Amino acid sequence: MEKKPVKIVTIGGGSSYTPELMEGFIKRYDELPIREIWLVDIEDGKEKMEIVGAMAQRMWDASPYDVKVHLTLDRREALKDADFVTTQFRVGLLNARIKDERIPFSYGMLGQETNGAGGIFKAFRTIPVILSIVEDMKELCPNAWLINFTNPSGMVTEAVMKYGKWEKVIGLCNVPVGAMMKEPETIGKTLDQLTYKFAGLNHFHWHKVYDEHGNEVTQDIIDAMYEGKDGGLPANIADVPFFKEQLDTMKMIPCGYHRYYYRQQEMLAHGLEEFNDPEKGTRGQQVKQTEAELFELYKDPNLDHKPEQLAKRGGAHYSDAACETIASIYSNANRHIVVTTKNNGAVPDLPADCAVEVSAYIGATGAKAIAFGELQPAEKGWLQCMKNMEHCVEAAAVTGDYGMALQAFILNPQIPAGTNAKRVLDELLIAHKKYLPQFAKKIAELEAEGVTIKDDVARELTEKGL
């Protein structure tokens, strides 16, 4: 029986990640026969979309497959009759990320894309937009799957399920893929010889590993990590080692982002060092430079493959997660993929209806989460604190409730509670006024009170309307 050709829509199509996505689709074409791909962006992203869209078409033209890449600023035009919608957008572009980082750092607290105050504000800007996309999907492609890569992926995906009432959604992250690609070789194995079990939240999970005989080899990998072997740490995270005694007791491998919690002092010091170095700047400022270089490469009319420099961007293996998930749903392959999905008891320490990041089998009905079981007290405590913080963030993003936003700030382990926490919240509200209509009333009050932004770079960006 001939397979139905597939229509893919990518929202945030002007992203520098798009060539990686195209590479993943080309690699899997025999399993996933794509008819057309639509790249969607906003007016501010039009130039990048045109550059990356032309490159995407060159990539397909260099392949044996006849696939047309369409470019549009009209989301509704693209969504009509889509089979899969992937999301990889950044509300406010990289300038918003820079403000998310610099304003907290100016008060001596972590400024980071998905953790702390910056991660909370990325959610505030993103959740209303993803919910508006879901409303369009209900009308224009009610049978489509939403595959979300937009950060903070866990909270964005949970908001789609909880507030958007959309069940056909899967959240993705490249971090588990990086671990599974690098860890096996540290103990002389290949991935197909190992069984992985992940549990936790996006950017806050742990995992265990078993060999082909059913023996647990988690400790072997932990030991190898302390012999200097590469365990797949993402390019955007400073390599501050975990305390080995902690991991030996935990008997699980934390994800790279746990460094922001388990080695908070050192990670904060590293971030502040870059923040105070005008040559480096924050990670967002570094990424802005990397992106500029990438788009210069993408302009080359002879370039028809993903350049190596994309790995510096921090999102390596994105296509392996996104394309493998889509292919596995389409062909009902029931492959093991680590995704954000509804808990349904996989992690009994959290409510059944919340979103968790876990190992799952992915097929035509979506994600079937693999039960992990109860966690030990330390991990359970962290998990419950972080999940309830996420619930506060999501509620504030949807309602614009300032008190709820303050609750999220005070609960977040990266934000020391007190006057500075409130000050950072207020400055970020003013900095992102353009993208936070739900907080309009509070922002007007803060402006009337004369609240200004302390950091020069963030203030200048805001005054320029960026």
70 is in an annotated binding site: no
As given in the structure block, the two tokens for residue 276 are 């105070």
Known catalytic residues? 257
* Dist. CA 70–CA 354, nearest whole Å: 36
Provide the b/e sequence for 275-298 (b: ≥16 CB within 10 Å): beeeeebbbbbbbbebbeebbebb
**Which of 181, 200, 203, 172 shows the shortest CA–CA distance to 339?**
172
151 is in an annotated binding site: yes
Q: Is 92 left (phi over 0), alpha (psi -120 to 50) or beta?
A: left
What is the sign of the dihedral through the CA atoms of 242, 381, 150 and 332?
positive
Neighbours of 191 (CB within 10 A): 13
For the chain, the maximum distance between any two Cα atoms, rounded to a whole number of angstroms, is 67
**Pairing label, strands 169-171, 195-201:** unpaired
Contacts of 212 (CB under 8 A, 6+ apart): 193, 194
Output DSSP code: residue 111: B
270 is in an annotated binding site: no
Whether residue 152 is preceded by a cis peptide bond, meaning omega within 30 degrees of 0, is yes
* Dist. CA 208–CA 219, nearest whole Å: 9
Give Cα 252 distance to the centre of its chain.
Answer: 22
As given in the structure block, the two tokens for residue 466 are 């960026």
323 is in an annotated binding site: no
Annotated binding site: 97, 151, 173, 203
Annotated binding site for substrate: 97, 151
Annotated binding site for Mn(2+): 173, 203
